[in-house]
Amino acid sequence: MKLYQKIMALIFGILTGCGLFCGWLLGTNYEKRQMLRAAEAEVRSFESARYAVEWMYQTEPGAGGTAGEGGFRRLMERMFRQKLFDGCIWIAGGEVLCDSSLYAVSWEGNWREEGRFQETEWVLEQGGGEYWVVIGSALPWLGEDNYLFSVQEVTEVHRETAEFVRQFTLIWFLFVAAASLLGAAAAKLVLKPMGILMRAAGEISRGNYGVRAKVGRRDEIGRLAAAFNLMAEQVESRVRELTLAGEEKERLLGSLAHEMRTPMTVVLGYSDTLLNMKLGEREQRQAIRGIYEQAGYLQRLSAKLMELTALHQNESISMEAQSMEAVLEQVVPMAESRWPDRRFCLETEQDFTLCGDRDLLVSLFVNLLDNGAEASAPGQEIRVTVREEEVLIRDSGKGMTEEALRKICEPFYRAEKSGKEGIGLGLAICEQIVCLHRGKLRFESRAGEGTTVTVSF
Amino acid sequence: MVENRILIVEDNPAISELLEMNFSVAGYRTDHCPDGEEALALLAEDGEFDLALVDIMLPGKDGFALLPFFKERGIPVIFLTAKDDVMSKVRGLKGGAEDYIVKPFEVLELLVRVEKVLGRTGRLQKILTVRDVEIFQESRTVMRGGEEIRLKPLEYDLLVLLARNKNVTFSRERLLREVWGDLYIGETRTVDVHIGQLRKKLGVPGLIQTIPKIGYRLEERG
């Protein structure tokens, strides 16, 4: 069941229920009041009739005797016949003396013993769909056991009420139907953007992440759409990120497989040779050394790779405030001991503190100084400058071609004829470290003129 | 005796050392260049090579670029590379390389394929000498101490294969495949029988060694 249908059913149900209850309450009350009014009117005319009887009795000459006798009774009979007292019954001593009503008196019930109708009283009687007001009163001046009754039909009052209720119900149902339809239409209109949202969500779930829900509204649904779009954007950028990361990982894996091929070839080749060829002492030693060296290379490769993946996972990194000068003062002596024939020069224009991991920063600058030293000839100077939010590392070594500049940060890229020790992951690791510190690594170089590395945070 | 000369163009020193060692143990003379430019310089200086083993990814000129220079001098080329994609293979072989071997390779297979290429291009040594045994390949005769040793064709092929790859151990299966051919379905016992005949006819003790659980090899030194 659709939402607008539910809303329609709900409106219909509530309004119908309310209408039935209100109608019943209203109808009952109205009928009661109308009956009361009718009865009061009848009582008033009954009272005047009773008064007329009393007046006639008092003024009739020769009356005064016992009730139901003589001239008064004849007078009354005349009066009744001439319809002066319409619908009235005179009962005395247990029998009907005069009757101008259309109804027969039923003697069931013991109202005489109960002492009712001593004062003027009225009751509502009903039967066969008809209603009557029965008014009765004792006539004490005529003696005991004299009663005057009046029976008046009030079915009309009831019918009118019923008609009123019927009309009310009809109008109410028309109103309810209209309200339900209008409500459903309104709900449908309000819910229309839901369809747009639903289609957009469907598109996204099918992998079409660029889709946005266009709902030109400012109400809750508009806000929902905005939130939905924001979510879609997040999902899109996250998916893009993951795809890129996956591609990068794949590339890394591909180059790793390629990178392992050479040492594997050597290890397999030498062991193959050792197994299948008759070798002299010298050759045997060469083969074993070859295997040993290449296994060592593989081991270094895996260690570096672990370092790189650990950086990717961002684990066990403690970010603390570090003085850049202090970090470099630790790094430069390390580089000097590794490269005793190069000159390292540290100058601080402006020291700055950085929130970072000391070990990683040290490893970053050791790596960069190493690269600088390798590119330089013995005796050449490698200059490290600390500036505002920047560290410059300048060497005047052999520099790089533009093509090499583009590739240096790719995993496993090695400059031509660089020492066979290198794995080709150094700068990839450096870049990852700088990235972790929200910095940028920039290289400027020209072949033969040296290289400047700028690390800006 | 003039040995076959092989030029190895390979930038990775570990691999070129491995290759040089294997070829020299198997009885070849080798030269080595770490990049394309040096290879060209060496060719210009002394182009007398019987075969070149060339890596494709080289600093400077790559292997594909070197190919025409070798062809110009009639030197057959075998590519030895880590590039195992089909496009590179097609490019290499269409460009005129004699063979294309992907790293990591099996040393024995490399030796056999080099020999096949040398045989195909008619560059094999005409006369093989092992100790005092001489093998004249053109006339398919074997001499020892001035006397001819009469060998059956299969015995002769077996001896040539072993003598071409001195100090290299061949498994019985390998021998069966190389000498009898891929289509031959037989037992490795056949190899043992022929080796026995060959030993008896040559009469040089310790020339053909049995390597337990593997196979046989011909040893130059006693």
Answer yes or no: do B116 and B134 share one domain: no
Q: Give the residues across from A88 on adjacent strands.
A: A150
**Structure-block tokens of residue A52:** 């007329």
Answer yes or no: do B67 and B156 share one domain: no
**The total number of structural domains that make up chain A:** 2
CATH of the domain at A331: 3.30.565.10
Given A111, A145, A165, which residue is the final one in a domain?
A165
Answer yes or no: do B62 and B91 share one domain: yes
User: What is the average pLDDT value for chain A, to the nearest integer?
Assistant: 83
Rounded to an integer, the average pLDDT of A212-231 is: 85
Given A165, A186, A202, which residue is the final one in a domain?
A165
Rounded to an integer, the average pLDDT of A292-316 is: 80
Task: Give the closest of B13, B107, B209 to A272, CB-based.
Answer: B107
pLDDT band at A336 (very low <50, low <70, confident <90, very high): confident
Answer yes or no: do B136 and B31 share one domain: no
Residues of B in contact with A404 (CB under 8 A): none
Residues of B in contact with A268 (CB under 8 A): 104, 106
**Structure-block tokens of residue A155:** 């079915």
Answer yes or no: do B105 and B58 share one domain: yes
Alpha helices in A314-401 (DSSP H): 324-338, 358-375
Q: How much is the pLDDT for A221?
A: 83
End-to-end CA distance of chain B: 19
CATH of the domain at A136: 3.30.450.20
Write out the E strands in A37-145: 88-92, 95-99, 121-127, 130-138
Q: How much is the pLDDT for B2?
A: 64
For residue A101, is it within any domain? yes
Q: Is A289 on the interface with B (CB under 8 A)?
A: no
Predicted-assembly ipTM surpassing the 0.95 threshold:
no
Judge: A279–B25 Cβ closer than 8 Å, yes or no. yes
**Structure-block tokens of residue A98:** 């005069």
Answer yes or no: do B90 and B163 share one domain: no
CATH of the domain at B197: 1.10.10.10
Given B120, B146, B165, which residue is the final one in a domain?
B120
Whether pLDDT at A127 is above 70: yes
Judge: A420–B25 Cβ closer than 8 Å, yes or no. no
pLDDT band at A95 (very low <50, low <70, confident <90, very high): confident
**Structure-block tokens of residue A80:** 């009744």
Task: Sort residue B122 into left (φ over 0), alpha (ψ -120 to 50) or beta.
Answer: left
Answer yes or no: do B139 and B58 share one domain: no
Task: Please give the helix or strand (H or E) that residue A126 lies within, else none.
Answer: strand A121-127
Answer yes or no: do B10 and B105 share one domain: yes
CATH of the domain at B105: 3.40.50.2300
Residues of B in contact with A263 (CB under 8 A): 14
Whether pLDDT at A266 is above 80: yes
Which domain, by its residues, includes B131? 127-218
What global pTM score does this model have?
A: 0.57
**Weakest-pLDDT range from A254-258, B82-86, B90-94:** A254-258
**The total number of structural domains that make up chain B:** 2
Judge: B14–A290 Cβ closer than 8 Å, yes or no. yes
Answer yes or no: do B85 and B186 share one domain: no
End-to-end CA distance of chain A: 59
Given A165, A184, A219, which residue is the final one in a domain?
A165
pLDDT band at A275 (very low <50, low <70, confident <90, very high): confident
What are the angstrom distances between the C-alpha of B65 and each of B69, B95, B143, B197?
A: 8, 10, 45, 49
Answer yes or no: do B71 and B171 share one domain: no
Q: How far apart are CA B104 and CA A269, in angstroms?
A: 8
Given B120, B154, B169, which residue is the final one in a domain?
B120
Nearest to B111, CA basis, from A445, A106, A276, A94: A276
Which domain, by its residues, includes A40? 3-165
